Amino acid sequence: MTEPRTPVARLIGGTASLGGRPVLRGVDLTVRPGEVVALLGANGSGKSTLVRTLVGLVPLTGGTIELFGTPFARFRDWSRIGYVPQRTTAAAGVPASVREVVASGLLDGRRLFGPGREGRAAVDAALDAVGMRDRARDGIAHLSGGQQQRVLIARALARRPDLLIMDEPMAGVDLRSQEVLAGTLRGQQEQGRAVLLVLHELGPLEPLIDRAVVLREGCVCHDGPPPRAVGQHALPGHDHVHPHDDHTARHAGMGLLS
């Protein structure tokens, strides 16, 4: 077996609480270079909280995080990570153009790459990747929800992240936006970059997913091949998972199956 490369993100024994209530209860998660990992689980199982701990928005109460092999407290290279939060209507009313929103993804805490040529090229490439170049001058508030989502993905892509984290990017987006998203994942994969995706169901992204981690009540209940949802179990919010048949026997005693 080949020596595994340094993980881009590694959480060991992660615990976190919100409002005094434990939400993550000893979570292990590893994402390696070039991997597309789906984080699945029912509403409230802790998926968003987990990715928010990785980008420093929720503090851990226990456990450790390493990013690109560096302990979280010493990690400074945030330009290597792109984060697309769960969609909100927050973009509405923000008086910024599509181009400005995408360019803000190049802010690294100290300086903006732009308005230099390199920065502009990165913004153009990101807008092309999500099919929004022709809307660059429009106000973000004048876009549909799915289009705003594509702009936020472009914002994260502009920094050419080695790890792209997206929280439910498929929620309420149309077919065209789903295709854009699938193309984004493919592009990241081809460049050997990693993606961590919070999803309710794999849906059309299934062929692109290398591994699925399923949370149940703040604990990992599956980490392996993407589970296959069948029939009514494919309905959003259904928290039963069905590993591929060849893994069924192995996991049958682990409380995975409904």
How far is C-alpha 84 from the geometric centre of its chain's CA atoms?
A: 7
For helices 145-157 and 175-190, give the axis angle rounded to 10 degrees: 10
Q: Determine, following the binding rule CB under 6 A, whether residue 235 of this chain makes contact with ligand ATP.
A: no
Residues 3-42 as x/- pattern, contact with ligand ATP by CB under 6 A: ---------------xx-x-x-----------------x-
Please pick, from the candidates 14, 46, 161, 226, the single residue that binds ligand ATP as defined by CB under 6 A: 46
- 241: contact with ligand ATP by CB under 6 A: no
CA pair distance 119, 113, nearest whole angstrom? 5
Bridge-based pairing state of the strands 36-41 and 194-198: parallel
Distance of closest approach, residue 108 Cβ to ligand ATP, in angstroms? 27
Angle at 85 between CA 227 and CA 137, to 5 degrees: 125
User: Smaller CB distance to ligand ATP: residue 56 or 187?
Assistant: 56
Nearer to ligand ATP, 38 or 132 (CB): 38
- The reply to whether 87 sits near ligand ATP by the rule CB under 6 A is no
45 belongs to the binding site for ligand ATP (CB under 6 A) = yes
For ligand ATP, give the closer residue by CB, 114 or 169.
Answer: 169
Which window, 25-33, 46-54, 149-157, 203-211, contacts ligand ATP (CB under 6 A)? 46-54
**CA distances for 236 relative to 5, 84, 199, 203, angstroms:** 34, 21, 10, 10
Give the residue with the Cβ less far from ligand ATP, 48 or 184.
48
In the bound state with ligand ATP, the residue whose beta carbon lies nearer, of 53 and 177, is: 53
Rg of the Cα atoms in the chain: 18
> Considering CB under 6 A, how many residues would be counted as binding ligand ATP?
12
| 53 belongs to the binding site for ligand ATP (CB under 6 A) | no
| Closest to 251 in 3D by CA, of 235, 234, 227, 230 | 227
Amino acid (one-letter) located at 134: D
Both tokens of 96, joined, read 């910024």
Question: Shortest gap between Cβ of 168 and ligand ATP (angstroms)?
Answer: 6
Binding window for ligand ATP (CB under 6 A); candidates: 29-37, 47-55, 172-180, 247-255: 47-55
Using rule CB under 6 A, residue 47 touches ligand ATP: yes
Q: How far is CA 94 from CA 130, 140, 192, in A?
A: 20, 7, 34
Structure tokens, 216: 């149940």
Encoding tokens for residue 36?
């597309």
Cβ at position 49, least distance to ligand ATP in Å: 3
Spatial distance between the Cα atoms of 216 and 222, rounded to a whole number of angstroms: 9
Shortest separation between residue 23's beta carbon and ligand ATP, angstroms: 4
Q: Which helix (H) or strand (E) holds 194?
A: strand 194-198
Binding site for ligand ATP (CB under 6 A): 18-19, 21, 23, 41, 43-49
